[in-house]
Amino acid sequence: MANLSSTCDDLRAEYRNILPGISAEQTKQIEAAIKAGNFLEAASVVQTFKNLSGVEFNIAITGEPGSGKSSLVNAIRGLGDEDEGAAETGVVEMTKEPVAYHHPTCPMVTFWDLPAIGTPDFRPDAYLKQVKCSHYDVFIIIASERSRFCHTKLAQEIQKMGKKFFFVRSRVDLDLYNEKHKKSFNEERTLEKIRNNCVYNLSREGMSSPQVFLVSSREFQKYDSPQLQKTLLKEFYNHKTEMFAATEGPRGNR
């Protein structure tokens, strides 16, 4: 299980190193946002501190039909599947083209609910071109069952573009429920077994140190959700810093 206190302590240390001069009040705001499960609210504090307005961060969420892409988009934005403004979910594939969803309190961050890979209209060999992959800054590949060849192939192509991906294994609450009848059941060991299997399948296809997160959109504050949010927050900051450096560089050379 995630240790939220440890996560916040780690964030405090990171921001002290990354953002010299950040105030105690701003640090508290970051901690409070993370404890509430809102990494993008924490990112807004960084946005204010660094004065990096106008820089967008695009997170693409992709996976096979029924993997829980839209539910993850909703959960990470703090919404239920039936809330106003939520991504549409259902028992059939609902997403036919990339759909943008801005975070309610951090509109510079956009989540893109991509069409499912492996459908007749979106085959793996042409998928990234169809969804205009160059538009996105990072990718989340989501699977509701064990990782498949299409996931590793997609991860390989994303890495070839020089971009990062994070692998999310969804619905782990159901996996745990299905295993509880066994006399030898242990939640931590079961979660570790799932994680190790995902890492193994990605690594054997050439993925170097893949980052795997176990989540449940129904119980989003459990399992690896805090680590996923922390990782996305760090990527958001790194992206904005790079953009800021690219903007300020020519001025400094004048």
The sheet carrying 212-214 orders its strands as 99-102, 109-113, 57-63, 138-143, 164-169, 212-214
Largest CA distance in the chain: 71
Q: What is the average pLDDT across 179-192?
A: 94
Percent of the chain at pLDDT exceeding 70:
74
- Give the integer Cα–Cα distance in Å for 30 and 26: 6
Helices (H), 94-220: 127-130, 149-160, 172-179, 187-203
**DSSP H/E element including 41:** helix 39-50
What gap in Å lies between CA 225 and CA 5, rounded to an integer?
14
- For residue 177, CA distances in Å to 16, 172, 174, 218 come to 40, 9, 5, 13
Question: What count of other Cβ atoms lies within 10 Å of the Cβ of residue 35?
Answer: 15
Q: What is the pTM of this model?
A: 0.75
Q: What would be the CATH architecture of the domain defined by 57-231?
A: 3-Layer(aba) Sandwich (3.40)
Select the more confidently predicted residue: 188 or 53: 188
Mean pLDDT computed over every residue of the chain:
79
Bridge partners of 60, per DSSP, are: 112, 139
177 burial level (CB within 10 Å; 0-12, 13-18, 19+): exposed
Return the pLDDT at 85: 85
User: How do residues 201-248 score in pLDDT, each as one tens digit?
Assistant: 888 888 888 999 999 998 988 899 988 988 887 888 777 777 766 665
* Contact by Cβ (8 Å): 31, 11: yes
List pLDDT tens digits, range 104-126.
777 778 999 998 887 777 877 78
When pLDDT is averaged across residues 46-59 and rounded to a whole number, the result is 66
